[in-house]
Chain A
Amino acid sequence: MVEQGYFSTLPGAKKELMLNVARLRQDFPILSRKVNGRPLVYLDNAATSQKPRQVIQALVDYYKGYNSNVHRGVHALSMEATARYEEAREKVASFLHSPAPECIVWVRNTTEGINLVAHAWGLANLREGDEVVVTEMEHHSNLVPWQKVTKATGATLKLIPVKDDGLLDLSRLDTIITPRTRLVSVIHMSNVLGTINPVKELAKAAHKVGALFMVDAAQSVPHEAVDVQDIDCDFLAFSGHKMLGPTGIGVLYVKPEVIREMEPFLTGGDMVREVWWDRATWNDIPWRFEAGTPSIADAIALGVAVDYLQDLGMVDVRAHEAQLTRYALERLKPLEEVNVFGPRDLSVRGGIVAFDVPGIHPHDLGTALDQEGIAIRTGHHCAMPLTRDRLGLAATARASFYLYNTEEEIDLFVESLKRAIGYFNGVGRRSPR
C-alpha cells in the first residue's frame, strides 16, 4: 500500500503542498455552474475533461487574431499560424520526452491514432500466422481496429488475461507473446478498472521477440508523467480532450526508426511532395501522416493545455489524484452494498473508480446522482468484452477524477450515492397500491 507522502518524495515533486486546487478551480469557468439547482460535481473526467480559460482563450485568440491555413502561405497570418501550430507540436514532443518533434503526428483522437497504426503499419506488415497481442481490459479503440486488420491479413489476435484483482495476468506471458508476435498493444491506464499496466516491462517482452510495442495512453498522459523514451514504446496515442484540451485533436507518437518506414494512412493534400496525374510522392515525416487542413486551432489550444499541465507539474497532478482516489476508496469501503472494481494498490491504480450496487442498475444510480448535480458515467465504458464477459455485468457506474476535483466533492458523491441506494432499496419494497 502506498504511504502518505509517497508521491511528494518522487523526483520533480514541488516542495509546497501539491496543487492549490481552490485557486486552479477558478481557471475553469464551467465548474461554477449549477445542475438541477445544485453545484456541478463533475466526476466524469475519464470521458472528457473540463477546459481552463487559458485553453478556451487560445481558441478564441486564434480565430480572432491569426486564423489562416498553415504551411504554404507567404502572408503574415499564415506564417504566424504555422509557427504556433508547429510550436504546439514541439510542446507535445517535450511533454512526452520524444526524441524529436517529427515523431509527433497530429490526429483527431486516440482512436484515430490507433487506426493509423493499424492501417498504415498493420496492413502493410502483418501476414498470415503473425500475432497481435492486446489485453482483456482494452477500450474498443485498441481492440476493434486489431480485429479488423488481423482478419484482413490472416494474423491472429491474442489477449493477455485480467486477474480478479484487476491486474494483468503475466504468469504465462511467454505463451502469449511469442516469436510470431509482431505487435503488442496495451492500454496504459484502464478506463474501467483504473489499473496502471507495467508498460516498460511489456515493451521489453515485446522487443525481446522482435515485436513492436504500442501504448493506448488516453487515460495516462493526462494524469501522470509519461516518457516515451523511458517506456521505449514504438507507438503511443492519446487524446487532447481528456487533458484539458479541446475535442478534435490527439497525438500519435511514433519512434523515429519506425516512422521512417511507415506508409501514409490518409492521402490527399498536404501530405504530398509532388503530384502527377497517375502518382504522387510523399511529404517529409511527420507531415506525410497529416492529410488535409489540420485542426489548427485545436492543436494550438492543446499546446496551451500542455503548458498548463507543465506549470502544475504532472507529479503533483498524479499525487493529487492518488490522494482523491485513496479518499474515495476509504469513503466507499463502509458501504457494504457497493462493489468497487480494480486494484486497491494506489501505485498501480489511477483516479478511475468503477463500481456497482447489486440489485440497482447503474443507470438508475446515475439518474439519481444527476438530480443532485453529480456527473458520473454508467454503462460499459467502451469495454464491452471486459464489462459483460470478464466482469459478468451489463453495466457499471464510474466516477473519475482530475486535478480540479476535491475531497468535498467526493463527500457529496458518496452522500448522494448513499441516498440513492436508500431510495432504490426502499421503493418497490412497499406493497403496490
Chain B
Amino acid sequence: MSSPDLDLFVSDLDELYREVIMDHYRRPRNAQELQAPTIKTHGLNPFCGDESSIQLVLDGQGRVAQVGVQGRGCSISQSSSSLMSVLLKGKTVEEVEGLTELFRRMMQGKDLSEPERLSLGEAGVLEGVRRFPVRIKCALLAWMTLLDGLEEYRAKAKHAPE
C-alpha cells in the first residue's frame, strides 16, 4: 500500500481511535468490582457480545464515592465505560443522569454547548464515534446500563419503608 493511502487509513481510524480512547481501553480505570455497592447493574449488547457491569457506592450526601466498572467488548465500549467511570466521582445521582443524557445527545449527533462539552471531561473525545454509526451502540452501552441501574435505584428508594 502506498504511503499516502496508508496515511489516510491511519488518519481515518485515528478519528475514532484517539489516543485517550485507546489508553482507556488498554488501562481501564476503576476496574475493581465493589463488594457492597449502593447501586449494582449489568448490561449487554446481545448483537455483539459487549458486556458492562457497574457498581456505585454513594456517600451520605448521595454523591458517588466509589465506582467499579467491568466488562468485555470492543475498544469503544470498554474505553467509554472507563471514561464514564472517571467522570462519575463526586457527582450526585441527578448530576450523573444529566451527564448521561448529554452523552447520549452527543452520540445522537446533537451539538453540545461549550460548557456542556466541558462537563463531559475526557469522555467528550468519543465524539468521533458519530462518524461510525454502527459503533454508537458500543459507546453508549455503559451509560445506558448505568441509567437502568439508577432507574432501578430510584424505584426501590420510592418503595422503601420510611
Tell me which residues across on chain A come within 8 A of B20, comparing CB atoms: 432
CB distance B23 to A432 under 8 Å? Answer: yes
Q: Is B22 an interface residue (CB 8 A)?
A: yes
CB distance B13 to A363 under 8 Å? Answer: no
Q: Bound complex: CA of A226 vs CA of B73, how far in Å?
A: 38
Q: Is B26 an interface residue (CB 8 A)?
A: yes
Tell me which residues across on chain B come within 8 A of A388, comparing CB atoms: 49
Among B26, B47, B48, chain A packs the most CB atoms within 10 A around the CB of B48
CB distance A372 to B19 under 8 Å? Answer: no
Tell me which residues across on chain A come within 8 A of B57, comparing CB atoms: none
User: Least Cβ distance of B93 to chain A in Å?
Assistant: 30
Q: How large is the interface on B (under 10, 10 to 19, 20 to 34, 35 or more residues)?
A: 20 to 34
CB distance B132 to A367 under 8 Å? Answer: yes
CB distance A395 to B19 under 8 Å? Answer: no
Q: Which listed segment binds B: A72-80, A111-119, A423-431?
A: A423-431
Q: Bound complex: CA of A428 vs CA of B16, how far in Å?
A: 13
Q: Bound complex: CA of A367 vs CA of B13, how far in Å?
A: 8
Q: Which listed segment binds A: B4-12, B108-116, B148-156?
A: B4-12
Q: Bound complex: CA of A217 vs CA of B157, how far in Å?
A: 52
Q: Residue B74 contacts which of A361, A371, A380, A423 (CB distance < 8 angstroms)?
A: A361
User: Least Cβ distance of B146 to chain A in Å?
Assistant: 20
Q: Is A14 an interface residue (CB 8 A)?
A: no
CB distance B26 to A428 under 8 Å? Answer: yes
Q: Which residue of B lies closest to A393 (CB)?
A: B49
Q: Is A64 an interface residue (CB 8 A)?
A: no
Query: Given that A361-B74, A363-B138, A367-B132 are contacting pairs, would A415 and B1 also be in contact in the complex, using a CB cutoff of 8 Å?
Result: yes
Q: Is A279 an interface residue (CB 8 A)?
A: no
Q: Residue A387 contacts which of B6, B13, B49, B75 (CB distance < 8 angstroms)?
A: B49
CB distance B25 to A428 under 8 Å? Answer: yes
Among B16, B22, B25, B72, chain A packs the most CB atoms within 10 A around the CB of B22
Q: Is B135 an interface residue (CB 8 A)?
A: yes
User: Least Cβ distance of B50 to chain A in Å?
Assistant: 7
Q: Bound complex: CA of A430 vs CA of B17, how far in Å?
A: 13
Tell me which residues across on chain B come within 8 A of A393, comparing CB atoms: 49
CB distance B73 to A361 under 8 Å? Answer: yes
Tell me which residues across on chain A come within 8 A of B25, comparing CB atoms: 428
Tell me which residues across on chain A come within 8 A of B19, comparing CB atoms: 427-428, 430, 432-433
Tell me which residues across on chain A come within 8 A of B51, comparing CB atoms: 394
Tell me which residues across on chain B come within 8 A of A433, comparing CB atoms: 19
Q: Residue A363 contacts which of B1, B10, B22, B135 (CB distance < 8 angstroms)?
A: B135
Per-position binary interface string of chain A over residues 399-423, scored 1 when its CB falls under 8 Å from any chain B CB and 0 otherwise = 0000000000000000100010001
Per-position binary interface string of chain B over residues 1-45, scored 1 when its CB falls under 8 Å from any chain A CB and 0 otherwise = 100001001101110110110110110000000000000000000
Query: Given that A419-B1, A419-B9 are contacting pairs, would A394 and B49 also be in contact in the complex, using a CB cutoff of 8 Å?
Result: yes
CB distance A371 to B48 under 8 Å? Answer: no
Q: Bound complex: CA of A372 vs CA of B23, how far in Å?
A: 25
CB distance A423 to B48 under 8 Å? Answer: no
User: Least Cβ distance of A144 to chain B in Å?
Assistant: 13
Tell me which residues across on chain A come within 8 A of B17, comparing CB atoms: 364, 423-424, 427
User: Least Cβ distance of A368 to chain B in Å?
Assistant: 6
User: Least Cβ distance of B123 to chain A in Å?
Assistant: 15
CB distance A364 to B74 under 8 Å? Answer: yes
Tell me which residues across on chain B come within 8 A of A361, comparing CB atoms: 73-75
CB distance A379 to B49 under 8 Å? Answer: yes
CB distance B23 to A394 under 8 Å? Answer: no
Tell me which residues across on chain B come within 8 A of A372, comparing CB atoms: 9
Q: Bound complex: CA of A379 vs CA of B48, how far in Å?
A: 4
Tell me which residues across on chain A come within 8 A of B132, comparing CB atoms: 367
Q: Bound complex: CA of A361 vs CA of B21, how far in Å?
A: 14
Query: Given that A361-B74, A363-B74, A419-B9 are contacting pairs, would A428 and B49 also be in contact in the complex, using a CB cutoff of 8 Å?
Result: no
Q: Is B76 an interface residue (CB 8 A)?
A: yes
User: Least Cβ distance of B89 to chain A in Å?
Assistant: 19
Across the A-B interface, give the 3 residue pairs with the lowest CB-CB distance, nearest first: A428-B22, A363-B74, A394-B49
Would you mind naming 17 contact pairs between A and B with Cβ atoms under 8 Å apart? Answer: A363-B48, A364-B17, A367-B13, A378-B48, A379-B49, A380-B49, A384-B46, A387-B49, A394-B48, A394-B49, A394-B72, A394-B73, A395-B48, A415-B1, A419-B6, A428-B26, A429-B26
Chain B residues within 8 Å of A, Cβ to Cβ: 1, 6, 9-10, 12-14, 16-17, 19-20, 22-23, 25-26, 46-51, 72-76, 132, 134-135, 138
